[in-house]
Amino acid sequence: MINLLILPIIIPLFTAIFLIFLTKYVMVQRWVSTISLLGTISSAFILLHTVHQDGIQTLNLGSWPAPFGITLVSDMLSALLVTTASVIALCCLIYSFKSIGEGRERYYYYAVFQFLLVGINGAFTTGDIFNLFVFFEVMLMSSYVLLVIGGTKIQLRESIKYILVNVISSALFVITVAYLYSVVGSLNMADISVRISQIHQPGIITVIAILFLIVFGLKGAIFPLYFWLPGSYYAPPAPILAMFGALLTKVGVYSILRTYTLFFYHDPGYTHQILGVLAVLTIIAGIIGAIAFWDVKKIIIYNIIIAVGVITFGISVMTKESLTGSVFYLIHDMIMKAALFLLVGIITTIAGTSNLRKISGLIKFYPALGWIFFIASLSLAGIPPLSGFVGKLLIVKGGFEEHQYVGAAVVLMSSLFVLYSVIKIFLNGFWGKPLDELKDSRAPIKMMIAPAAFLLAIAIFYGLGSEYVYSYISQASDVLTNPAIYIDAVLKE
């Protein structure tokens, strides 16, 4: 079926429109959005299988030939990311049934949630640079609403800052697209790549490359453009935070990955070196934040920044091995960040605070939660049988082979600090003397812990079955190291 790759965008879109009419019926909304997400996930898996069997799938919308119309392109990387995003969305959705509260559910929460997924899946699938901007805006606009929904004081305050930063970065995106259009005269990503390689990337294209780095760095929170993230992500409730932490920044990282492997690979001595330096600084900035705070949410939020740094370092090295590592780590990190934010949400619900100094002894009353959190911590740090290991191993190996010793060493060191920061939560929050108020307040967390445990199970499978997953991921990094595959698939005669 030729329209297969549009299904993960169109199913949530129609569901969102349908849900707008159902706001009063909370139970109906829950069922409709769950069923539609199951549909999205199954179409994403079919897409993944098709791309694995038959190579890159393209769809020229309206049957206009490739450089002139909008082309949707689903290579292995975007198919993997679409699948991961849809699975994470389902877990966050089920988690929100118990935690989000009826006040928010009645005011279009599920509709906006689906629109967010439309934006994310669209951004992963599109093959047109301006269409990428539009899908970014769909995603950002839904994230504004999700950030402010409920209207508490902290949410109002932080969403003003979040919107301002994103308005500026969107204007920069438009400006950068305008510059690129005036140089190459095309908007189709494959066509842009061909034209840039025809003119051998003159200085102006390098400037545009750096502008794109600034734009996507603002979305993806790399150093020194991450300043908005800790405050903004602190405001929303847990399931929204899990969606943001797992997916939004990763769309920025994906865009850096796409543009730096498809467009700007002719002068890596300049562009990729800057990316590498910024990646190392991002890791360091994230580490400082993660070990400095005694707040459960803040610690995990700074861990997002560390992970973004690790992935972009893998991109900057630009070998087959490091790119495979980056893709491996990207998917691992999406799953793990969602799982950790959901777990942190449960911890704050039980303890009534996110201040780590006021939480202790949770393991006595919530042993399952404790051990799930423990395994998640080890997985995040990259302890061998678990999911974070293979990606980081490949990134470090790629770094050493390209003689980037400092960067690779920082990536290795970062694992230690990541482990320290999450084990700090485990030791202080779960061990120790149980708090008195925990005894009678047995919060009902079964429905909330199930999605987190499910995500963790996926992560464990992802780590143990990396041999099986590898064939998919190496197909994704084939396209990244050899843009001709992508270009041939889109601009076929």
Report the interface residues with other proteins, using CB under 8 A: 130, 133-134, 137, 141, 144-145, 148, 151, 153-154, 156-161, 163-164, 167-168, 170-171, 174-175, 177-179, 181-182, 187, 231, 234
Residue 182 or 471 having the CB closest to other proteins: 182
Q: Which residues pair with 156 in a beta bridge?
A: none
- Token pair recorded at residue 162: 């979040």
303-to-124, 155, 372, 414, 457 alpha-carbon distances in Å: 23, 22, 18, 10, 21
Residue 157 or 320 having the CB closest to other proteins: 157
| CB 447, min distance to other proteins, A | 30
Residues 128, 143, 47: CA angle, nearest 5 degrees: 45
Residue 36 or 159 having the CB closest to other proteins: 159
Integer Cα distance of 210 and 68 in angstroms: 26
Contact 40, 7 (CB under 8 A): yes
- Token pair recorded at residue 281: 């600084």
Q: Residues 6 or more apart from 27 whose CB is under 8 A from it?
A: none
| CB 236, min distance to other proteins, A | 14
| CB 178, min distance to other proteins, A | 4
Q: Which residues pair with 71 in a beta bridge?
A: 60
Residue 55 or 69 having the CB closest to other proteins: 69
**Hunting for tokens 């973004």 — which residue is that?**
308
Residue 157 or 364 having the CB closest to other proteins: 157
Contact 291, 349 (CB under 8 A): no
Residue 28 or 154 having the CB closest to other proteins: 154
Integer Cα distance of 256 and 254 in angstroms: 5
Integer Cα distance of 413 and 5 in angstroms: 40
| CB 172, min distance to other proteins, A | 8
- Token pair recorded at residue 160: 């003003």
| CB 175, min distance to other proteins, A | 5
Q: Exposed e or buried b for every residue in 212-225, given b needs 16+ CB within 10 A?
A: bbebbbbbbbbbeb
| CB 174, min distance to other proteins, A | 4
| CB 164, min distance to other proteins, A | 6
Q: Which residues pair with 410 in a beta bridge?
A: none
Of the candidates 257, 322, 347, the residue with the CA atom closest to the CA atom of residue 474: 322
Residue 174 or 368 having the CB closest to other proteins: 174
| CB 344, min distance to other proteins, A | 18
Residue 185 or 465 having the CB closest to other proteins: 185
Integer Cα distance of 394 and 284 in angstroms: 20
Residue 137 or 478 having the CB closest to other proteins: 137
Residue 137 or 267 having the CB closest to other proteins: 137
State phi, psi for 265 to the nearest 5 degrees: -100, 10
| Side chain identity, residue 50 | T
Integer Cα distance of 41 and 90 in angstroms: 8
Contact 249, 229 (CB under 8 A): yes
Of the candidates 355, 372, 376, 354, the residue with the CA atom closest to the CA atom of residue 363: 372
Q: Which residues pair with 72 in a beta bridge?
A: 59, 126
Q: Is the dihedral of CA 180, 183, 187, 192 positive or negative?
A: negative
Residue 207 or 457 having the CB closest to other proteins: 207
Residue 4 or 183 having the CB closest to other proteins: 183
Contact 326, 260 (CB under 8 A): no
